[in-house]
Amino acid sequence: MTCVSYTQRKGEMAMKPTHAGELGFLKGPRSTSIAIVCMCALFGWCLSIYQASASPSNSEPHTTDLARINSLAKALEGISIGTLSYIDFSAGEDHMGHSYNRFRITRGYLTIRKQLTPWCGFRVTPDVTQETVTTYKLAEDKLVATEDANHADFKLRLKYLYAEFQPSNIAFLTDMKIEIGMGHIPWLDFEEHINPYRCQGTMFIERAGIFNSADLGIGVMGYIGGQLPKDYQDTVNKHYAGTYGSWHIGLYNGGGYHAKEANNNKIPEVRLTVRPLPYLLPGLQVSYFGLYGQGNKKAGSSYPLYNVHLAALSYEHQWVTFIGQYGYSRGNQKGTLVDGQGRALRSQGFSLFLDVQTPLLNRSLSLFGRYDHFDPDTKDWIASGDDSYDLAMGGMSINFFSKCMAILVYEHISYDANNGGLGKVPVVNLRLKDEYRIQTVVQIAF
C-alpha cells in the first residue's frame, strides 16, 4: 500500500513519497477508485451541510435573529474602540556607557468608550508595559541585584478608568467635563496636545521625575467663552480649543497611576490657560499649573512636601508650533526627591520645543527640536557644585495617515558631575556618562 511520510530537517517540512520520484497514490486503477470514492463522500457531506443551512426549518426563527441583531446594535450604541500605540526602535548608549539597540513597545493603549446618555459616558484604557524582574543573590555577604531579562513579560496595566459627566454651560464656562476615577491630571494631557511627539518620550516635567499624567480622583475642566471657529480647529488644533482659553481643577490621591496611595493627603491641582488674542493670534496661549501636597513616600517620620508651579507660553499655527515653559518644584509625586534629613529638594528647569511643518510630501513632513535643562537641587543641599542635566533632541516626522506617524530623532542627554540620573536625587561625584540614541517610532492612533 502506498503511503506518504514526513521528514523534518533544520526546521523544513518536506513531503517525501515512499515510491521514488512522484506521489504514488495518484497512480494505479485501485488508488484512483479510492480517491474518487473519497471525493464523492466529501462532496456529499458539503451538500448536506449546505441543504441543512438553507432548509425552511432553519429560516423559521428569522424574527429571533432580527431581535438578536437589534439587541446587539443597541448594546454597541455609543461605543467606540481606539488605540494609541508606539513601536520604537532605538540604538545608542546609556548613562553607564552600555550600548544597546532594541525594538520596544512603549505604549499600547486599548481605549473603549461608551456614551450612556447625552451627559454621561465611561472610558477604560489599559496600557501595555514590560515588567522588570530583579533577582537577588548573596555574594560576599552582600545582596547583588540582577535584572532577569528572560522573565520580563508584557502586561496590561490600568491607565484610565473614569465616569465622565458633561454638565450644562454656566455663563462663560462652557464645554465642561467632570472625570471621576483614574483620570487626567491637569497638565500633561494639555501639553501633549500641543507637542504631538509623546511617542518620542515623556514631556519635560515628567522626564524630570516630578509627576506622571494620570491619578485617581476627581477633575472638572472646560473652556472659557465657547469654542474657536471650526476652521481653526480643523487646520490647527481641535483640542483645548476654548475661545479665551481653558481650565482644569481637580483633587487627587497624589501617587499617580503607578502607585498605591501611601498617605491620607489629597492633592489639589489647577491649570488655567488664557488665550489673550483669540481673533488676532488664536494660537497664542499663556498657562499656569500648580499643585500643593505631600509626596507618596515617607522621608524620616513624615511625608515630604510636594509642591509644583509651572508657567508656559505656547503658540500654534498651521505651520509652526512652539511651547516654552519654566517649572519649579519642591519634592516630587513619589516623595523621593529629598535630602538625607527628609527635606524636599527645591528644583527648577525650563524646556523649549519647536515644530515646523514643511511643504514637502504634501505637507506631511515636519522638523522638530526640543531642549530641556533641569536642576534637581537648586540649594545644593546634597552636593555642592553642578548637578543639573541637559537634554537636546532634533528630528523629523512623517504623518502618513490621520494621527499615525513615523519619527526619526537624535537625542542627547548630558549630566553634570553630581547628577544622579533623570528623576533621581544628586549623588556626589557620580559622573554619569552622556546618553545618546538614534530613535525611530511608528505611532498608530485611531
Binding residues for Ca ion, rule: CB under 5 A, are: 253-254, 261, 263, 265, 375, 377, 380, 387
In three-state form (DSSP H/G/I as H, E/B as E, the rest C), the secondary structure along the chain is CCCEEEEEECCEEEEEECCCCCCHHHCCHHHHHHHHHHHHHHHHHHHHHHHHHHCHHHHCCHHHHHHHHHHHHHHHCCEEEEEEEEEEEEEEECCCCCEEEEEEEEEEEEEEEEEEECCEEEEEEEEEEECCCEEEEEECCEEEEEECHHHCCEEEEEEEEEEEECCCCECCEEEEEEEEEEEECCCHHHHHCCCCCCCCCCCHHHHCCCCCCEEEEEEEEEEECCECCHHHHHHCCCCCCECCEEEEEEEECCCCCCCCCCCCCCEEEEEEEECCCCCCCCCEEEEEEEEEEECCCCECCECCEEEEEEEEEEEECCCEEEEEEEEEEECCCCCCCECCCCCECEEEEEEEEEEEECCHHHHCEEEEEEEEEEECCCCCCCCCCCCCEEEEEEEEEEEEECCEEEEEEEEEEEECCCCCCCCCCCCCCCCCCCEEEEEEEEEEEC
In this complex, which beta carbon is closest to Ca ion, that of residue 377 or of residue 411? 377
Q: Which is nearer to Ca ion, 252 or 322 (CB)?
A: 252
253 vs 307 by CB, closer to Ca ion: 253
Smallest gap, in angstroms, from Cβ of residue 380 to Ca ion? 5
Rank residues 250 and 254 by Cβ distance to Ca ion and give the closer one.
254
- Whole-number minimum distance, CB 155 to Ca ion, in Å? 25
User: In angstroms, what is the minimal distance from the CB of 269 to Ca ion?
Assistant: 12
Question: Minimal distance in Å, beta carbon 388 to Ca ion?
Answer: 6
In this chain, which residue has its C-beta nearest to Ca ion? 254
Nearer to Ca ion, 233 or 378 (CB): 378
Rank residues 265 and 414 by Cβ distance to Ca ion and give the closer one.
265
Residue 387 Cβ, how far from Ca ion at the closest point, in Å? 4
As measured in angstroms, the least distance from the Cβ of 248 to Ca ion is 19
**Whose Cβ is closer to Ca ion: residue 267's or residue 323's?**
267
Q: How far is the CB of 422 from Ca ion (least distance, A)?
A: 15
| CA–CA distance, 418 with 378 (Å, rounded to integer) | 12
Q: How near is the Cβ of 264 to Ca ion at its closest, in Å? A: 7
Residue 124 or 417 having the CB closest to Ca ion: 417
